[in-house]
Amino acid sequence: MSATELPERMHAVRCHAPEDYRLEQVPVPEPRPGEVIVQVEACGICAGDVKCFYGNPSIWGDATRPRYVQPPVVPGHEFVGRVVALGEGAAERFGLQVGDRAIAEQIVPCGKCRMCDRGMYWLCRDREIFGFREKAQGGWAQYMRFPANARVYRIPEKLSTEQAALIEPLACSMHAVDRGQIQFGDVVVIAGMGPLGLGMVACARLKNPGLLIALDLRDHRLEVAKRLGTDMVLNPSRDDVRAEIKRLTDGYGCDVYIEATGHPQGILLGLDIIRKAGNFVVFSVLQEPVTVDWTILGDVKELNVYGSHLGPYCYPKVIDYLSRGLLKTDGIVTHRLPLSEFRHGIEMVHQGRESIKVLLIP
């Protein structure tokens, strides 16, 4: 093992139950064979973290779903850190040395199940997700461990803390945009300008669509979307989105629609404004079930409906595009808070009135 001198204990936020999160003193993790220990530089607060905090049944389980989260656990999966210790074989496995900046994908796949065997590791049956599972403690801490089967990447020094902490959400955004199969000249509508939707705007801009349109109910988010490359912004609270999309497309509808609001109305709107044989991408975790007439998928419009989950195979591309200045992130990170203010950060993200992406700085 190679390592810098580490303290024995550290500060970490630990989830014990819904709304029972505590800043505690815990042991600093030590690397086992193949593992990496990083000192956390920053870690974002994701909408999934907020849902976990407030007891969302998709995470905590209910009568029809098992619980996924394993408390007590350190939350956080949008992290970047600096390598401070390497277990036996980790340097060779990941191409890292002490002092390097590093990131790991949010999923830790088993590498053995049928999906992993097919190269679809992001759909692993026996996956661990950083910040939710005992074997994959997250980044709301001063130090964290990357397991030996994590997917780890070195981060260039030239990237800012904000850029590096956005790699995980940007990878998710890039995958969703890839699923939309945008072609030159397409009219693309992205609904929901949270951090992921804004990342989708930045990624979609690189696809050179004919017209890129962003939708959101909050004007400060739409202003950021303009800076990231959207051609037009619409606020459904005052703009007639349906009429405007029809007008812009000679009544046909948009070619690609990406849903990133998490609200059932986002699904219903998309089905209405997309053209026949259009590409409909569902990224978001919906707040509640949606009831639609499935006839529109087949007989009425023959739509291509694509799900999008995590950011598989996108991390190297995101790191490369950020390093070359091709992927814009200006305005996405709005707040940096110390670890002790995690509750304030969660509430800011939950309300969404002023913040977009909030980072915790241990």
pLDDT in tens, 207-238: 999 999 999 999 999 999 999 999 999 999 99
Q: Is residue 312 part of a domain?
A: no
pLDDT, tens digit, for every residue of 132-180? 999 999 999 999 999 999 999 999 999 999 999 999 999 999 999 999 9
In eight-state DSSP terms, residue 166 is T
261 & 357 share domain: no
The mean per-residue pLDDT over the stretch 255-281 comes to 97
Token representation of residue 44: 């974002």
pLDDT of residue 360: 99
Give the model's confidence band at 4: pLDDT under 50 very low, under 70 low, under 90 confident, else very high.
Answer: low
**pLDDT at residue 81 tops 90:** yes
pLDDT of residue 1: 46
Q: Of 262, 291, 307, at which residue does a domain stop? A: 307
Whose CA is closest to 122, among 172, 156, 160, 162? 172
84 & 42 share domain: yes
pLDDT of residue 284: 76
Residue 301 and residue 281: Cα distance in Å, rounded?
Answer: 15
Amino acid found at 126? D
Residue 341 and residue 343: Cα distance in Å, rounded?
Answer: 6
284 & 337 share domain: no
pLDDT of residue 3: 59
Residue by residue, DSSP assigns 209-231 as -SEEEEE-S-HHHHHHHHHHT-S
Q: What is the CATH number of the domain that holds 159?
A: 3.90.180.10
174 & 161 share domain: no
Residue 229 and residue 201: Cα distance in Å, rounded?
Answer: 7
Q: Is residue 14 part of a domain?
A: yes
93 & 232 share domain: no
161 & 175 share domain: no
**pLDDT at residue 2 tops 60:** no
Number of domains, the chain: 2
Q: Name the least confident of 19-23, 55-59, 70-74, 104-108.
A: 55-59
The mean per-residue pLDDT over the stretch 242-260 comes to 98
102 & 206 share domain: no
Whose CA is closest to 38, among 117, 147, 122? 147
The 3-state DSSP class for residue 134 equals: coil
Q: What contacts 266, CB < 8 A, 6 or more positions away?
A: 191, 192, 259, 260, 284
Residue by residue, DSSP assigns 341-359 as GHHHHHHHHHH-SS-SEEE
Domain holding 282, by residue range, is 170-307
50 & 147 share domain: yes
Q: What is the CATH number of the domain that holds 227?
A: 3.40.50.720
